């Protein structure tokens, strides 16, 4: 079984501990519902940490089964109930959602005020159809 992935990417900078919403867009600028999202941070404040959150709206996973452990430490908890936090030293926060779950907006919040540069890779991972392989042009 093969999987296909059409990646998109964004780079943003944050310089405060305020939560910042990021819309994941396609090449035409429209919101793109994604099942794969990866965020990496490069920051001068490597002792700081960041979290990436997905709104539960549109997720088929029951909200009752989500955890709120990453929403502690005095950060704003109104943004979402799904989240993950890690240090700002080049580590990656990654979401690989089930095939039915999609998100087109994420929220990023860092714990400090050092400038953080966030590299966001996102898109749709889909399972390929091996029966269609014979229909693909093979070139000359």
Confidence at residue 91, expressed as pLDDT on a 0 to 100 scale:
78
Confidence at residue 6, expressed as pLDDT on a 0 to 100 scale:
87
Better-predicted residue by pLDDT, 90 or 75: 90
Q: How far apart are CA 33 and CA 57, in angstroms?
A: 12
**pLDDT band per the 50, 70, 90 thresholds, residue 80:** very low
Question: First-to-last CA distance in the chain?
Answer: 27
What is the average pLDDT value for the chain, to the nearest integer?
A: 77
**pLDDT band per the 50, 70, 90 thresholds, residue 72:** very low
Domain boundaries defined on the chain: 10-125
> How many angstroms separate the most distant Cα atoms in the chain?
61
Region 76-94: what's the mean pLDDT?
64
CATH topology of domain 10-125: Jelly Rolls (2.60.120)
Confidence at residue 118, expressed as pLDDT on a 0 to 100 scale:
92
Could you give the count of Cα atoms lying within 13 Å of 109 in the half-sphere of its Cβ?
22
Task: Summarize pLDDT for 40-66 with one digit per residue, the tens.
Answer: 988 766 677 888 888 766 666 655 555
8 A C-beta contact, residue 55 and residue 101: no
The top-scoring range by mean pLDDT among 1-10, 16-25, 73-82 is 16-25
Task: Summarize pLDDT for 99-108 with one digit per residue, the tens.
Answer: 788 889 998 9
Share of the chain above pLDDT 70, in %: 67
Task: Summarize pLDDT for 110-133 with one digit per residue, the tens.
Answer: 888 888 899 999 999 887 777 766
């Amino acid at each position: 079984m093969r999987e296909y992935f059409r990646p998109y990417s964004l780079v943003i900078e944050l310089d405060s501990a305020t939560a910042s919403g990021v819309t994941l867009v396609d090449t035409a600028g429209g919101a793109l519902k994604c099942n794969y999202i990866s965020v990496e941070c490069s920051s001068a404040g490597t002792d700081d940490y960041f979290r990436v959150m997905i709104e539960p709206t549109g997720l088929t996973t029951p909200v009752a089964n989500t955890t709120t452990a990453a929403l502690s430490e005095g950060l704003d908890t109104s943004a979402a109930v799904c989240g993950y936090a890690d240090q700002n030293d080049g580590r990656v926060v990654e979401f690989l959602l089930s095939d039915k779950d999609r998100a087109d907006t994420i929220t990023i919040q860092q714990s400090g005020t050092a400038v953080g540069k966030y590299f966001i890779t996102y898109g749709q991972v889909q399972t390929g159809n091996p029966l269609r392989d014979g229909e693909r042009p093979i070139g000359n």
